[in-house]
Homo-oligomer: A and B are copies of this chain.
Amino acid sequence: MGTGSSGSAAKASRAAPPRVELLRVGHRPGRDPRLSTHLALVARAFGARRMYLHPPDPRVEASLAGVRARWGGEFEVVPAPSWTSVVRDAQGPVVHLTMYGVPLARVLPRLRRPRDVLLVVGGAKVPPRLYGDATFNVSVGSQPHSEVAAVAVVLRELLGLPGARAFPGARQRIVPSARGKSVVPDRRTVP
């Protein structure tokens, strides 16, 4: 898709940013709905297309459907009864985010050219075969931290900082403020 700007030849030849999807494996419906919801919200806000959730959890799906109704965009949580088939069907590199992997900076150049990238994050228990099935096992710092942070930083590197743009179809949007809160109806959604 064109950007509408009169870019130079150098800019025009540059690859478009990849289409990024996220797969969350090892979700525990009893314990993890908040963390998996944070993961999905981050994926959405930072420009990913969808999050596959294994095992499926209607609570997380419903929560993101509500956000989408209010705040717009096409993002959705897709139930994934089989995570292996999501990995097998991936159209580009499969990037497993793990504190044990190779540093992100080393892998980044190889993630900027493909048209599709699938990020994968595990929960408390990561299936051992994921380390073998992934194209890359990548760490964002070789320290324990948070899958939410890892996804945010990788998306920021691949797609840039999320701006103040509202998502198409939003019922409301935020007007950035130096002080306080400003939320207005999104008139652009009126046909």
Which residues of A come within 8 Å of B, CB atoms? Answer: 34-35, 38-39, 41-42, 44-46, 67, 71, 99-105, 131-132, 136-137, 139-146, 148-153, 156-157, 161-167, 173-174, 176-183
Indicate if the CB atoms of B148 and A153 lie closer than 8 Å. no
- Taking CB atoms, residues of chain B closer than 8 Å to A149 are 38, 42, 45-46, 148-149, 151-152
Q: Given that A149-B151, A180-B100 are known contacts, is A143 also in contact with B156, CB under 8 Å in the complex?
A: no
- Taking CB atoms, residues of chain B closer than 8 Å to A67 are 144
- Taking CB atoms, residues of chain B closer than 8 Å to A46 are 141, 145, 149
Indicate if the CB atoms of B71 and A178 lie closer than 8 Å. no
A156 and B38 CA atoms in complex are apart in Å by 19
A161 and B150 CA atoms in complex are apart in Å by 11
Indicate if the CB atoms of A71 and B146 lie closer than 8 Å. no
Least CB distance from A49 to B in Å reads 15
Give the number of copies in the complex.
2
- Taking CB atoms, residues of chain B closer than 8 Å to A137 are 177-180
Indicate if the CB atoms of A142 and B173 lie closer than 8 Å. yes
- Taking CB atoms, residues of chain B closer than 8 Å to A157 are 161
A148 and B180 CA atoms in complex are apart in Å by 21
Indicate if the CB atoms of B100 and A143 lie closer than 8 Å. no
Q: Given that A148-B148, A149-B38 are known contacts, is A142 also in contact with B176, CB under 8 Å in the complex?
A: yes
A46 and B173 CA atoms in complex are apart in Å by 31
A125 and B42 CA atoms in complex are apart in Å by 20
Indicate if the CB atoms of B142 and A153 lie closer than 8 Å. no
